């Protein structure tokens, strides 16, 4: 099995076709077709099915895909280690909250095992994070759906929205809190660009209630500090670590008792030629955070 054949196979899958893959690899389409045929003959299975809309990966082809990416990433790393050079820099865009909550522990485990790869984080707002991904300013981005159709994703976790209640407040009691209880209450939120605030606004509109938004800030820790000072009720996702304070956090629900929550994923643009290490990174991150999804 030749490394060139594995590279060709990954390119055809990522570009959803032989013509675009051949252009990306600077080889002729017949040459690329021969490589795939040689790989299928060697393995004795059909890897790809052609269609009018591109190619469809078979079950056997899907099994090979992840293995091929790992093999190429390992080869790149071996070359970098022996030459003393960095093989690649992975650029990831995300919010500051995502860094502290979902990436710190993962990177502490991942980076020492990939010494030849640098990781650069771009911390930005949710809207700008999405835009950076579509503008190819980063290789991958942590964001919540919906995403454009040309984006592929792997799950990270399910994020729940909570209400931080000041000490001594009438709502300072355990259990879920419905948005109807927030009518006319002073609340502190993260701003309209954040999914948490959008879910709160939508649920309140459906319930016909109107909290009094007295403060907006992108930093969850600032909101938590103001709640602790008794300024009002904070509405934050459970991704924000407020354990350092003595605040009570109640799961926030709509008027019918359904919890406000959203999915968070690691995303990349389908069809864009990416270094094999990027694919290893996103798959490893999703696998690492599986415990969050299953807890």
Task: Give span(s): CATH 1.10.10.10, the chain.
Answer: 3-81
Q: Which CATH number fits domain 3-81: 1.10.10.10, 2.40.30.260, 3.30.750.210, 3.40.605.10?
A: 1.10.10.10
- How far apart CA 60 and CA 246 sit, in angstroms, is 53
**Nearest CA among 250, 108, 114 for reference residue 175:** 250
Burial letters for 266-293: b for 16+ Cβ neighbours within 10 Å, e otherwise? bbbbebbebbbbbbbbbebbbebbeebe
- How far apart CA 199 and CA 202 sit, in angstroms, is 5
So what's the pLDDT on residue 204?
A: 94
Q: What angle do CA 164, 167, 169 make, to 5 degrees?
A: 85
Whether CATH 3.40.190.290 fits 158-262: yes
Tell me the pLDDT band of 82, cut-offs 50, 70 and 90.
low
Spell out the residues 6+ positions from residue 251 whose beta carbon is closer than 8 angstroms to its own.
160, 161, 162, 163, 176, 177, 259
Q: Has residue 245 got a pLDDT over 60?
A: no
Task: Give span(s): CATH 3.40.190.290, the chain.
Answer: 158-262
Average pLDDT score over the chain: 87
- How far apart CA 70 and CA 217 sit, in angstroms, is 41
Q: Has residue 61 got a pLDDT over 80?
A: yes
For residues 7-22, give the mean pLDDT: 86
Which of 23-27, 173-177, 266-270 bottoms out in mean pLDDT, i.e. has the lowest? Answer: 23-27
- Structure token pair of residue 259: 């919890």
So what's the pLDDT on residue 244?
A: 47
Q: What's the DSSP call for residue 148? A: -
CATH superfamily, with its number, for domain 86-157+264-294: Periplasmic binding protein-like II (3.40.190.10)
Helix or strand or coil: residue 215? strand
Burial letters for 93-132: b for 16+ Cβ neighbours within 10 Å, e otherwise? bbbbbbeebbbeebbeebeeebebbebebeebebebbbeb
Q: In terms of pLDDT, which residue wins out, 241 or 176?
A: 176
Task: Give span(s): CATH 3.40.190.10, the chain.
Answer: 86-157+264-294
Tell me the pLDDT band of 156, cut-offs 50, 70 and 90.
very high
Length of the chain: 295
- How far apart CA 103 and CA 284 sit, in angstroms, is 11
- How far apart CA 38 and CA 227 sit, in angstroms, is 64
Q: Has residue 81 got a pLDDT over 70?
A: no
**Nearest CA among 215, 217, 193 for reference residue 127:** 193
């Amino acid at each position: 099995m030749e490394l060139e054949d594995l590279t060709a196979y990954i390119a055809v899958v990522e570009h959803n076709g032989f013509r675009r893959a051949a252009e990306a690899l600077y080889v002729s389409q017949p040459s690329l077709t021969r490589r795939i045929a040689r790989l299928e003959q060697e393995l004795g299975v059909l890897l790809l099915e052609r269609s009018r809309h591109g190619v469809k990966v078979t079950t056997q082809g899907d099994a090979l895909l992840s293995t091929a990416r790992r093999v190429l990433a390992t080869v790149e790393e071996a070359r970098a280690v022996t030459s003393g050079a960095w093989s690649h820099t992975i650029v990831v865009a995300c919010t500051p909250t995502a860094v502290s909550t979902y990436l710190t522990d993962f990177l502490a485990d991942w980076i020492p095992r990939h010494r030849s790869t640098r990781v650069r984080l771009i911390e930005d707002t949710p809207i700008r994070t999405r835009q950076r991904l579509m503008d190819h300013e980063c290789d991958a981005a942590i964001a919540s759906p919906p995403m454009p159709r040309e984006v592929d994703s792997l799950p990270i976790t399910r994020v729940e929205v909570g209400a931080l209640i000041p000490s001594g407040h009438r709502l300072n009691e355990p259990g879920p809190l419905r948005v109807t209880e927030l009518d006319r209450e002073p609340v502190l939120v993260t701003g309209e660009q954040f999914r948490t605030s959008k879910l709160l606004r939508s649920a309140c509109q459906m319930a016909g209630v109107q909290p009094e938004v007295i403060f907006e800030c992108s930093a969850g820790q600032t909101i938590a500090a103001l709640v602790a000072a008794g300024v009002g009720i904070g509405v934050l996702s459970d991704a924000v670590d407020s354990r350092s304070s003595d605040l009570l956090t109640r799961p926030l629900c709509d008027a019918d008792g359904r919890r406000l929550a959203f999915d968070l994923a690691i995303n990349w643009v389908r069809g864009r030629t990416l270094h094999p290490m990027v694919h290893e990174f996103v798959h490893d991150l999703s696998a690492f955070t599986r415990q969050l999804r299953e807890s």
